[in-house]
A and B are shown apart, each in its own frame.
Chain A
Amino acid sequence: MTPHLLKLSGIGKQFGGLSALTDVSLHINAGEIYGLIGPNGAGKTTLFNVITGLYQANSGEFRFNGHSYQTPKPHLLAQAGIARTFQNIRLFANLTALENVMIGCHVRTHAGVFGALLRNKATRTEERASMQRARELLRYVGIDKPAQTLAKNLSYGEQRRLEIARALATEPLLLALDEPAAGMNATETERLKVLLQNIRAKGITVMLIEHDVKLIMGLCDRVAVLDYGRKIAEGVPDEVRGNPAVIAAYLGADDE
């Protein structure tokens, strides 16, 4: 049996009187690439935000890496090993690319105020390691611009990749990507696909929301489909593609 890295059971989320998610159960296996698709307004982003702790579910059980979380806070989940990117890129715009990634190292480093003031050996070593790692990650995701470039001055595709580098710096078990290919052209999307496959090859589990069905189908091991806040299908891409409920959901959405 493959170990479940993430297991959600019966997750429900309401905003005011509106149900955004109803009884969603799913699990993500360690080492796989898991896709989450669905028509607009299906609750993908809400589910994504529940998984990364930005929203707290109103009901259901949340287990990650063998631990159960009652009210998962974003920083605790990052600590536990879930890293994320944002649909509408949220970089630290006025900081440099290097600093952005080094901030990702925060959660795995320890220097406090006294370390900062005394700048003792441990702090210096840690700082050097963070910088080293940040530079490696910048290269790894393919940002060739100088590391001192401000995040806001990078190109769109570079910003997307910088977000991934920053997330990887937290040394995640699960990398959650919110529409990573949004706004990318075909070449950039292809590069992204290779990058994600590389990341998985390093043993990091990947979960992504994506509109680009072709990318999802070509990349994911398993896919879940949401519609109206419920999970209507789950399985390997080919299976899901043929699922009548999924076809209906997508055709229904196209009609609008």
Chain B
Amino acid sequence: MEIFLQQIINGLVQGSVYALVALGYTMVYGILGLINFAHGEVVMVGAMLALSALTAMTGWGLSPLLALPLSLLLAMAGCMLLGYSIERIAYRPLRHAPRLAPLITAIGVSIVLQNLAMMIWGREYHAFPQLIANQPHHIAGAIINDMQIIIIIMALAIMAGLMVVVHRTRLGRAMRAVAENQHAAQLMGVDVNRVISITFMLGSALAAVAGLMVSANYGLAHYYMGFLLGLKAFTAAVLGGIGNLRGAMLGGLLLGLIESLGAGYIGDLTGGFMGSQYQDVFAFFVLIAVLVFRPSGLLGERLAERA
């Protein structure tokens, strides 16, 4: 029972991160019908930027309570700029090209980002500095620490904020209009290019937050971390129904739970044949299962080829 509860907690923490990253995929998909393969790398860059800033600031003797939000803001700004540039350079010129073209540039951008990061930050794992006391709390035998609580609360707050932006503001209305029908939105006076740019920037800002969260949770950051994380967050977005914001949140949390429970029990289920080192394969099988049985995802509408 303790194991179960512990896995639920771990799953929720991990799932919150997936949800934030999945939102980035789903927003771009909703508006452009494009899978932004490079999104995972934006998360990685966010984590690396935040980590570097944090290390530098605490080195100058800044209080962790000040350094943490400052470096987060810095990482967000950096990622927003990155997201904006990616769209301008790699996607916008190809908006009317065959569908294969932006997919290929997307994978190109990922590779470039990954290797640039490796040149800048090296191949080694970077440890996340222990800044706050990170008190563990015991709940019915399971442990949750301060950082994990902060992650869950922050993720929930950001998601709530995003829903307000999308459903209650002018910008959100413009975004929904572009997602519904780009051409019509343009005729109605919506600056489509601007909305698309902002969408990429919003998604990238969320990615920066997620990047910081992941590295804080695991205590590590690495130039290769964006790849698997991106793949899983994409799975989360598909699970919830790609293009659907609530779906991305639900899918993220669910995938976190599936992964964590799966990793916790796979040993028992397979009679010890497979262990928790197979944690990373669950997302893949979830993805395949969703595509086979419910390609529109849990909350999504049809997504088969449109006319």
Contact = CB atoms under 8 A, between A and B. Distances in A.
Judged by CB atoms under 8 Å, the answer to whether A and B touch is yes
Contacts of A228: none
B65 interface: no
Interface of B: 307
A54 interface: yes
Contacts of A49: 307
A166 to B, nearest CB: 19
Contacts of B307: 49, 54-55
Nearest to B301: A16
A54 B307 CA distance: 7
Interface string A42-75: 0000000100001100000000000000000000
Interface string A201-238: 00000000000000000000000000000000000000
Nearest to B307: A54
A55 B307 CA distance: 9
A178 to B, nearest CB: 12
Contacts of A54: 307
A87 to B, nearest CB: 11
A49 B307 CA distance: 9
Nearest to A54: B307
A126 B307 CA distance: 32
Nearest to A46: B307
A35 B307 CA distance: 23
A8 B239 CA distance: 38
Contacts of A55: 307
Nearest to A45: B307
A62 B307 CA distance: 21
A49 B306 CA distance: 12
Nearest to A93: B98
B300 to A, nearest CB: 13
3 contacts: A49-B307, A54-B307, A55-B307
A84 to B, nearest CB: 12
Nearest to A49: B307
Nearest to A55: B307
A49 to B, nearest CB: 7
A55 B304 CA distance: 12
B25 to A, nearest CB: 24
A51 to B, nearest CB: 14
A188 B307 CA distance: 28
A226 to B, nearest CB: 18
B98 to A, nearest CB: 9
B148 to A, nearest CB: 41
B101 to A, nearest CB: 13
A147 B120 CA distance: 55
A17 to B, nearest CB: 12
A150 to B, nearest CB: 15
Interface in A154-170: none
A124 B231 CA distance: 46
A54 B305 CA distance: 11
